[in-house]
Amino acid sequence: MSILIKNGKIITASAEYEADIFIEGEQISAIGKNLQVKADQEIDATGKIIFPGGIDPHVHLDMPFMGTFSSDDYSSGTLAALHGGTTMVIDFVLQTQGKSLQHALDAWRGRSDGNCYGDYGFHMAVTDFNDSTKEEIIHMIEQEGITSFKTFMAYKGALMIDDGQMVGLMKEVKKHGGLVTVHATNGDMIDTLIAKHKSEGKLSPLYHYLSQPEVTEAEASGRFADMANYTGANGYIVHMTCEGALEAVRRSGSRNQRVHVETCIQYLILDASLYEKDFEGAKWVMSPPLREKKDQEALWAGLNQGLVQVVGTDHCPFKWEQKLMGKDDFSKIPNGHPAIENRIELLYSEGVNKGRISPQKFVEVTSTNAAKIFGMFPKKGSIGIGADADLVIFDPNEKHTLSAKTHHMNVDYSGYEGWEVTGKCKTTILRGKIAIDHGEVKIEKGYGQYVKRNKVSPII
């Protein structure tokens, strides 16, 4: 099967130019002006831009969490991602404390394999680092293609590890060429504030926000950077929300250390005033919480300064009836919000169309940098000969309104209801197959493949 995309404008992390793209099988085989080739199918992309399929390196599909499961499974989640121009996701396997990493991986692959529309990989969340976990790290990297290891400095009793475990894990991961990623907030400080608010009868979603002030994230981010510096490990901070945490990373740069930073679309465009809407604020109960306008400004600047290298989603949807589990107690509201389908269009609309970031920066932070950091470049995250033909054909001028009535995520509300965006994903191509065309699904469940990742390159 071959496809010729004609007359589009190609946008990459470093360039933009008009050219045709010829796809044979799963890869791009030629790029050039007025390509004279015979293809099984031609797509006229006049007036459209074409960029690499999005990579969202932070999603939680069908995940057991806070007494329930996130409401998008691998089928609905990866399909919604494709509708929104994301061709690959990296999800998190969570080790159960007291059990092996392999035990968790088997459970996660049992839920995912054969069920995905889009391509997928895994990070391994190490929640119990001990002598036997240590033995499994090399197997995960060399055999399973899992080269990034997630840690939690919060969620004590379920996911959190202490600093001794963190340092031990960092040393082992560094030895074998992997990357340590982190949910960097101070779990003990947060738990103390949660207990205080509850004892004072302060139980609404607003107190979720007030239990996780900026200092809890700034302190943990700095501590993580210090431990990464001490061990020499490659580090990556997920879902960064605030100026204070970014400053900690900026300081680490002055000792010539590179700590990668990811933010998520919601932290760039939503703010904590949403927690003042009584229980409706539960829609945005996530950890860390939404912050202030000054933090949004710091994150946009961080993108342009190259300090923030990835924009993900932390897609972790829960239906309204699940959110109601915390109706009388904010600490029981399942943490997370839906965004897997909205990331690309929102970032293009709020970032590129509003002049905050360039089209090249947009590509960098939605696919290319994630592919580089997580060991998939240039197969993923690039438009080049031999790369996987993962492409989005995008109308940069089409206006539309986001709504739960029209989205494809398995959740009965939208965190962005009524949001007007300019720019729409028209066609999504995954490994040489048209996956979504003008809203129509063209592939079958199971087309999405598990992607084994390479060891990481230390500096990008």
HSE of 71 in the Cβ direction (CA atoms, 13 Å)?
Answer: 19
Nearer to ligand URP (CB atom), residue 85 or residue 336 = 336
Closest distance to Zn ion from the beta carbon of 31 (Å): 36
Distance CA 459, CA 293 (A): 31
Nearer to Zn ion (CB atom), residue 183 or residue 291 = 183
Q: Does 183 bind Zn ion (CB under 5 A)?
A: yes
* Residue 131 CB neighbour total at 10 angstroms: 7
User: Is-contact 372 352, C-beta < 8 A?
Assistant: no
Pairing of strands 179-183, 148-152: parallel
- Pull the structure tokens for residue 299: 């994150």
Q: Which residues bind ligand URP (CB under 6 A)?
A: 60, 183, 286-287, 314, 316, 335-336
Q: Which residue is nearest to Zn ion (CB)?
A: 183
Residue 429 interacts with, from Zn ion, ligand URP, none (CB under 5-8 Å by kind): none
Within its chain, how far is the Cα of 209 from the centroid? 22
Closest distance to ligand URP from the beta carbon of 13 (Å): 26
Q: Does 314 bind Zn ion (CB under 5 A)?
A: yes
Cα distance between the two ends of the chain: 35
Residue 194 interacts with, from ligand URP, Zn ion, none (CB under 5-8 Å by kind): none
Distance CA 418, CA 38 (A): 44
Nearer to Zn ion (CB atom), residue 52 or residue 289 = 289
Closest distance to Zn ion from the beta carbon of 286 (Å): 8
* Segment near Zn ion (CB under 5 A); pick from 131-139, 215-223, 307-315, 424-432: 307-315
Q: How far is CA 271 from each of CA 195, 241, 267, 297, 326, rounded to the nearest angstrom? A: 24, 10, 7, 11, 21
Residue 286 interacts with, from Zn ion, ligand URP, none (CB under 5-8 Å by kind): ligand URP
Share of the chain residues as helix, strand and coil, in percent rounded to the nearest 5: 35, 25, 40
438: phi > 0 → left, psi -120 to 50 → alpha, else beta; which?
A: left
Residue 421 interacts with, from ligand URP, Zn ion, none (CB under 5-8 Å by kind): none
Nearer to ligand URP (CB atom), residue 11 or residue 311 = 311
Nearest Cα neighbor of 60 from 89, 21, 31, 101 is 89
Nearer to ligand URP (CB atom), residue 10 or residue 286 = 286
Closest distance to ligand URP from the beta carbon of 335 (Å): 3
Residue 335 interacts with, from ligand URP, Zn ion, none (CB under 5-8 Å by kind): ligand URP
Closest distance to ligand URP from the beta carbon of 154 (Å): 8
Nearer to ligand URP (CB atom), residue 146 or residue 190 = 190
Nearer to Zn ion (CB atom), residue 136 or residue 314 = 314
Q: How far is CA 173 from each of CA 68, 166, 252, 340, 392, rounded to the nearest angstrom? A: 31, 10, 20, 29, 34
User: Is-contact 263 240, C-beta < 8 A?
Assistant: yes
Nearer to Zn ion (CB atom), residue 214 or residue 314 = 314
Residue 313 interacts with, from Zn ion, ligand URP, none (CB under 5-8 Å by kind): none
Binding residues for Zn ion (CB under 5 A): 183, 314
